[in-house]
Every structure is written in structure tokens, then in C-alpha cells.
Structure 1
Amino acid sequence: MDLARVRLIDRLIGGVLCAVLDASRRILGRREESTGSSPKKILFIELSEIGAAILAEPALRHVRRSWPEAEIYFWIFAENADVLRVQGLVDPEKVFLIRSRSVWTVMVDALAGLRRVRREGIDAVVDLELFSRITAILSFLTGASQRTGFDRHEMEGLYRGKLQTRAVLYNPYRHISANFIALVEALKRPADEAPHLKAPSAIIETSVPRAPGLDSYRDAMSARLSARLPGFDRRKGFICLHADFESRLPIRNWPMPRYRELADRLLALDGVFVAWVGKIRGDGNGTPAHARSVDLSGETTLEELLGTLDLATAVVSHDSGVVHLATLTRAAVVALYGPETPSLYGPLTEDKTVFYENFACSPCLSAFNHRTSTCRDNACVRAIGVDAVFEAVRKRLY
């Protein structure tokens, strides 16, 4: 479904529904949990971003540490659900899916999901979305007695009603993983605390564990790459490039000519192999033809993509889901940021090189503008030169 249409529906229709539900809550005096109690069934809602689902992993692990017996559920768009499977943190039977093909499928699946949530007896909801009215509405309609989510408090705009029992102050100065953990911590606090969370900020995990099953994905892709690339030997150097030149947020893209130049320079090194990865095939878009280069774009499942990334010496990508998928593997991450800041959305791995030119206008994509921007010239990303990226990769090779 078109991203601009989703934003419009969320703002116009979602805002009205939030106001109606908030008014009904006040008039009917709905009874809800007033003190932090131990939840038995916790539902996370994060619909739209693979990267966000990976960055939420520390929050899910925090639930495991805080309430070892609690059951974890997750609500996500169907096209992103595979990431939960490879992470192995949520039982597939406890994942609720929404097909995002059209407004109709979203409505049908949301209603079906609400019926199932109520049957399951969910008693706590953690809404990970940043000021989405749709997820605030879904959270409220679950009937859960404890609901945490981000709230605007005294900020103008970003209205989503007072549908959460614990309205957590979104902190744009801390990594999103710490913000997600604050949502979980709020479940332990009294509902009348304002604003949540009146406690020291969580120390975020600097890395996420490797994905379970990674070795089998890796072995399968090693055999496949050996068949496609004569003489393939990852020990000589194997670099994955993720150009993603038809991204939903093209403003984040590093220019394709830069990726091509980087590939040419890497392939000029003795014995180095290059693979192009991602969802969109590069045929006809300028991916260099070379005996030690292969275009896997559009050819891999998520497991196969992880296996490919795990074989890599380094993965080069602009800000995208692949940056965060690579943190589930052994590969070094070379990430290129511009319209969003790595201080908030940086990859959770210790083996990384992050490029960010710190323009005065950056970040222009944020929770406060629902990730929209008037920018049509992403100079902040283009300012990252091929020389610097090549050198960061070369250091990993020798």
C-alpha cells in the first residue's frame, strides 16, 4: 500500500477515531489497571519496519528477564513477519499478521486480529510505533488492562488521544532501543506517573545475538555462490552491497553510481568477490558485470539473504533494513546515514563503521514529521565519498 496514502489515512481518519475513543473512555469511565502488576500475556505492535523489529529485540529480551513466565505475542505486517521467524524470539503461532496490500485487507485483518487478541486474553500491549494513530487504536481495542506507547505530552501535533494507560515520553536523544525498553519498563510503574518513565534510562545492548539457524543458511548459500562464482573463496574477501535503489524512502539512498564505483574498486583487488543483495533486481540498472560479481537482488528468501550476509567480510548499505539484518550475522557493517541519525537508529553491533556527515538539516526524517521531508536533494548522503567507504571496507580485508 502506498506510504503517502497510509499517512493520510492515519492523520485524517485515525485522528478522528482516536478522539472518539478517548471521549468514550472518559464518559464511560473504563476501568483499567492502575498499578504495575506482572503481565501474563504481552503483545508487541510494530507493523511497518523490519529494522525496527530487529532494534526491538533488546526490549523483547528485557521482557524475558523481567517476567520469565510471560507469553510474548507480536502484531506485524505480513511482508515483515519473516524477520520474527529468523530471530526466534516469538512463537510463530503467536504472531498476528496484517496484509498491507490495500486499505481493505488492512481493515479485514485488523478486525480478525482484534477478535483473536481478545480470545487470547492479552493483558498488556506495548505499542512500538512512533505516534501512529492506527496502532494506538488497535492497542486500545484489544481490551488489555495495561497499554504502553509513546505520547506527545506537551508537544504540539502528533495527537493520538489518551488511549494508553502508561504514556511514555519519546526521547529523541536516546537510541530507539532504549526508548523501546522504556515502554516495557513502564509496565512496572503506577499508571498515574506522568510522564513515564521516571527512572534512569536503560543501558542499551551494544549488539544483538546472531540469528538461530544461521549456520545452515550460510552453508546453503556457500554452495549456491560456488556454483555461480567460479573459484569462490570468501576467505579472500567477500563484500555484499545493498543498493536498494527502489526503496520506500529513496531520500536515504546512496547514489547508484557510487555503489558501482565502489564495486569496481573492490573487484580490482586481488581475489575479492562482490554480491549485490536486496529485494529489487539490478538487471539493467548498472550493476557491474564481472567474473567475481553476482547479482542476487530479488533472488533470495530472508534466510538465504542472512546466509549470504553471514558469509560476507563486510556489508555496505545505506540506512535500511539490511543494515540491521546484517547485525544478526558475523559480517562487519558499513552503514551510510543521512536523513536519519545513527544516534537514534544505528546498528546494534560492535563491528561497524558508520558514516554520517552531520548536516545542519539532518535528521530531516523523524517521529515528529512521520518520516516525511521536503528534501529532494539528499546532499547529506551524497557527501559520503567512495574513497572513505572503500577504505573502511579495505581495512576489513587486510
Structure 2
Amino acid sequence: MRRLDRFCGMPACLLLTALRRVRGLVRGQDRHGRQAVRRVLFVQLAESGSMVLADPAMRDLATRSGAQLYCLTFAHNRASLAITGTVPEAHVFTIRTGSAREILGDAGRFLRWVRRTRIDAIVDLELFSCLTAVLCLLTGVARRVGFHRFDGAGLYRGDLYSHPVAFNPQLHMAQNYLLLVEALFGVATPPAPRVPTAALEPRVHRRAISAVELDAVRKRLADCLPPGAEANERLVLVNANASALLPQRRWPQEHFVALVRSVLEHFADVRVLLIGAAEDGATTGAIAAQLADSRCVDVAGRFALGELPALFSLSAVMVSNDSGPAHFAAVTPLPVIVLFGPETPVLFRPLGVATVLSAGLACSPCVNAGNQRRSRCADNQCMQRISVDEVFAALCPVLEAPVVPSGLACPNDLREAAGV
């Protein structure tokens, strides 16, 4: 995606910006500024956790306008979008990422799909992609909202939006997404809507987990756990994985081993599940092998992404690197302890019942919107210096709190137990 942006996206943005100005297309945008929106497309390609962070903006737009919601995303992120359940399955268009040919071919089909669907407004949630800016313009949709760097740092994306908005690094990412929605309804937008920060309060909709979903996950748990597992055991989820695109986000494997060992030693009624996708099996398998304890079970690849909300509802707490599962938990009352290093919780703190831990080093965060989330760091001290004792101390108040029956947890009780 970065190579396509560099060699195709940026030149295309430059050329289309020049053509747009020469042809005077900017003069036509006001004709559409006050028309009602009925079908709005959100563009969110690469970040699975950002699907949850964008959900308050999507719901806010639907509530205020009554519009139908659509989404463009990468094929491998389709299941992540379904976690919140806000956008109907039939309203999602996916782009495959196996090769440049697939990306460009699907992009062409996307342009035809937009015209058939009669989309009348687009909200581009991407920070770093030139190609999404180009795609948005080529759709022919008049009302297009997206982030623009103006005089700040960031990738050159040309002047391709009817409603450009400056990204604000002092606001949470979910609040920045809400600003895009505000801009869609505004008249004079650039560089950003003039709204009070207090009005940008992101709220994630809690998923209603059905009895059928819970029973299916309980059955799968029974298949994963060893014979003799106690029915009243509390489940502690550990997500030791993070995207290979940013390995600096990983807390050291030996730290996870020491943490799980302490949990098992201090809490006799707890069973630890090492969660992850099938490709995370090397990490979870190594942790389980080092512990060699039947109360620590490697379940990587055993639960589909769509089953995670039910699994979270049946669990007591989760410890996670800064990655997708920490954000997915926001649709449930599950308390989450999230470890931050190369990215900042100011922007990316999960919206659920989250306790954030960080070493607070001056070199952190080292990845941001200005550098397209690139970092040359090969020694992530920002993660290594988060101590096992510190994480365990954050876990104890949750595990020492009165036990609430699985699947019936009270959000307020759990929030107090998590110290947030």
C-alpha cells in the first residue's frame, strides 16, 4: 500500500489537484452542501481496531441524518467491521490485498459499485492513504470529507476533498472521526469545525450477546480446556500478539510468561487463555510451553473473530498489547489492561473499560500521522520497561473484586474494579 501510494498515489493526487483547480470544481461543491444525505460511505482500509474507534462517528451520523451506512475496507478486515454490527453486511465493499493487480482491479469495481449504489456522501477515515483520496474523487460523489494536512505534518494528499479537515493530534482518534462527521454537516469547514471538545464524546454501542452465541462459545471452551476443568473458573485472557507491521508494540514474551505465572500462583480459581489468530500460534505456543501449566491454555486460532464478543462476555479480564482485541472488547463490559509504547493512548486508547499502562519514555510515541507509522526503533524500551509487577498490580483489583456471574457482568461494577 505504501509503495502504491508513493509511486502512484502521490503523483495522482498532484495531477488531480491541478485538474480540479483548473476546471473550477471547487465552485460546484456549495450546491451540494445543504442537501440531505441518504447513503453515506465510510472508508477505513487497514486498521482493524480503528473499526471500533470509528463506530461512534458512524452512529452519530446515522442518528443525525437517518442515512444508510456503507463501508469500504480491505477484505481481511471485513470480520473486524462486523464486531460492532453497525454497518450491514450487504453494505460492505472489500478490496483484496494479495497483489497490486488485485488492489487496482477491485478499486475499479468499487467505482462502479459506488455509482450503482448511489452514494451521496463519503467520509474518508484514512490518515495516510493517497489512494483513498484519489478513489473518493473518482467516484464523482460531490460531498467528500477527509483529513488534510494544511500547514501541518503528514502525507501529501492533494486538495481532493470538498470538506477538508485538519487532523488534531491532541484529540483522541474517535474524536477526530467525529470531527469529520461534523464537517459533513457544516457549511464553512476548513481547517476544522468549530465545535466544543466536550461535544465530541465518543460512545461505543454495547453489543447484545445472544444466548445462542454464548452457548456456542461455552461449547468451544469445553473443547479447548483439559478434562476436569472447573465450571466456576474465571477466565483471564492474554493477548501477547500485535501486528507484524509494527512489532515494536509487543511486550516481551518473557514478561508475559512471568505475568501468567504470577496470576496462576496467586489466584487458584483462574484459568488463563492465550488468545490470537492462527498465525499467532508461534507466540502463544511458546508462552504455553514455557509455563507448562494445565491452567494456561493456548487457544490461538480456536475462536473466530466474530466469536470474540461472546468470549469477552464470559471472561473476567484481559491483558493485551495495543492491538485489535483491546479495541474489540469495547463492545462488551470486559475490563482490559492495555500496554502502550510506540503509539500514544492520547489518540488510540480503547473506548471500553480500559486501564492503560505506559513506561512514559521521552522517545515515545515514535509513530504518528506525520511519519505514516514508521519507526526505525529496533529496541522497544518503551515496552520492555513496563514491569511485570506493574501489570500484575493493575490486574489484582479486578481479580480480587467480588465475582460476577459470567455473561451478566455489570459495566459500572467492572469499571470500578478496573480503577477507571
Deviation of residue 221 (structure 1)?
1.7
Superposition RMSD in Å:
1.8
Seen in structure 2, the aligned counterparts of structure 1 residues 203 and 258 have a Cα distance that, compared at 3 Å, is: farther
Deviation of residue 56 (structure 1)?
0.3
SS of residue paired to 1:177? helix
Seen in structure 2, the aligned counterparts of structure 1 residues 40 and 246 have a Cα distance that, compared at 3 Å, is: closer
Query: For 2:340 and 2:139, how far apart are their aligned partners in 1?
Result: 37
Deviation of residue 372 (structure 1)?
0.2
Matched, 1:345 2:345: no
Q: Partner amino acid for 1:391?
A: A
1:286 matched residue in structure 2: 287
For the 8 Å contact 1:36–1:187, the answer to whether it is kept is no
SS of residue paired to 2:356? strand
TM-score by length of 1: 0.93
Query: For 2:146 and 2:202, how far apart are their aligned partners in 1?
Result: 23
2:135 matched residue in structure 1: 138
Unpaired segments ≥5 residues, structure 1: 1-5
2:248 to 248, 251, 266: 251
Matched, 1:238 2:241: no
2:363 to 361, 364, 370: 361
1:217 matched residue in structure 2: 213
Query: For 1:236 and 1:343, how far apart are their aligned partners in 2?
Result: 35
Query: For 1:244 and 1:361, how far apart are their aligned partners in 2?
Result: 22
2:38 matched residue in structure 1: 40
Query: For 1:246 and 1:147, how far apart are their aligned partners in 2?
Result: 30
Q: Which moved more, 1:21-30 or 1:384-393?
A: 21-30
Deviation of residue 219 (structure 1)?
2.3
Query: For 1:355 and 1:179, how far apart are their aligned partners in 2?
Result: 23
For the 8 Å contact 2:148–2:165, the answer to whether it is kept is yes
Q: Which moved more, 1:174-183 or 1:305-314?
A: 305-314
Q: Which moved more, 1:289-298 or 1:225-234?
A: 225-234
1:382-397 to 2 correspondence within 5 Å?
382-397=384-399
Q: Which moved more, 1:332-341 or 1:233-242?
A: 233-242
SS of residue paired to 1:74? strand
Deviation of residue 124 (structure 1)?
0.6
For the 8 Å contact 1:338–1:381, the answer to whether it is kept is yes
Greater fraction helix: 2
Deviation of residue 204 (structure 1)?
4.2
Seen in structure 2, the aligned counterparts of structure 1 residues 101 and 129 have a Cα distance that, compared at 3 Å, is: same
1:101 matched residue in structure 2: 98
1:3 matched residue in structure 2: none
TM-score by length of 2: 0.88
Q: Partner amino acid for 1:216?
A: V
2:118 matched residue in structure 1: 121
2:51 matched residue in structure 1: 53
For the 8 Å contact 2:9–2:130, the answer to whether it is kept is yes
Query: For 1:379 and 1:171, how far apart are their aligned partners in 2?
Result: 27
Seen in structure 2, the aligned counterparts of structure 1 residues 234 and 345 have a Cα distance that, compared at 3 Å, is: farther
1:62-73 to 2 correspondence within 5 Å?
62-68=60-66, 70-73=67-70
Q: Which moved more, 1:224-233 or 1:8-17?
A: 224-233
For the 8 Å contact 1:88–1:212, the answer to whether it is kept is no
2:414 matched residue in structure 1: none
Query: For 1:238 and 1:91, how far apart are their aligned partners in 2?
Result: 31
1:273 matched residue in structure 2: 271
Per-residue Cα deviation, 1:198-231 (whole angstroms, up to 9, x for no partner):
3323544465222244543332222222343234
Matched, 1:10 2:13: no
Query: For 1:133 and 1:245, how far apart are their aligned partners in 2?
Result: 25
2:195 to 184, 193, 199: 199
SS of residue paired to 2:281? coil
1:296 matched residue in structure 2: 299
SS of residue paired to 2:319? strand
For the 8 Å contact 1:86–1:212, the answer to whether it is kept is no
Per-residue Cα deviation, 1:127-176 (whole angstroms, up to 9, x for no partner):
00003101111111111111110001112552111000011010000001
Q: Which moved more, 1:180-189 or 1:83-92?
A: 83-92
Seen in structure 2, the aligned counterparts of structure 1 residues 234 and 337 have a Cα distance that, compared at 3 Å, is: farther
Seen in structure 2, the aligned counterparts of structure 1 residues 39 and 15 have a Cα distance that, compared at 3 Å, is: same
1:87 matched residue in structure 2: 84
Q: Partner amino acid for 2:49?
A: G
SS of residue paired to 1:113? helix
For the 8 Å contact 1:218–1:306, the answer to whether it is kept is no
Deviation of residue 23 (structure 1)?
1.4
Q: Which moved more, 1:17-26 or 1:162-171?
A: 17-26
For the 8 Å contact 1:338–1:356, the answer to whether it is kept is yes
2:19 matched residue in structure 1: 24
Seen in structure 2, the aligned counterparts of structure 1 residues 275 and 177 have a Cα distance that, compared at 3 Å, is: same
SS of residue paired to 2:186? coil
Q: Which moved more, 1:94-103 or 1:288-297?
A: 288-297
Per-residue Cα deviation, 1:95-125 (whole angstroms, up to 9, x for no partner):
1100111111111111101110012111110
Deviation of residue 266 (structure 1)?
1.4
Deviation of residue 361 (structure 1)?
1.3
Deviation of residue 245 (structure 1)?
5.9
Per-residue Cα deviation, 1:326-345 (whole angstroms, up to 9, x for no partner):
11223110000011111110
Q: Partner amino acid for 2:281?
A: R
For the 8 Å contact 2:175–2:200, the answer to whether it is kept is yes
Query: For 1:387 and 1:232, how far apart are their aligned partners in 2?
Result: 28
1:317 matched residue in structure 2: 320
Q: Which moved more, 1:337-346 or 1:202-211?
A: 202-211
SS of residue paired to 2:151? coil
Seen in structure 2, the aligned counterparts of structure 1 residues 193 and 241 have a Cα distance that, compared at 3 Å, is: closer
Deviation of residue 82 (structure 1)?
1.1
Query: For 1:235 and 1:121, how far apart are their aligned partners in 2?
Result: 53
Query: For 2:152 and 2:357, how far apart are their aligned partners in 1?
Result: 31
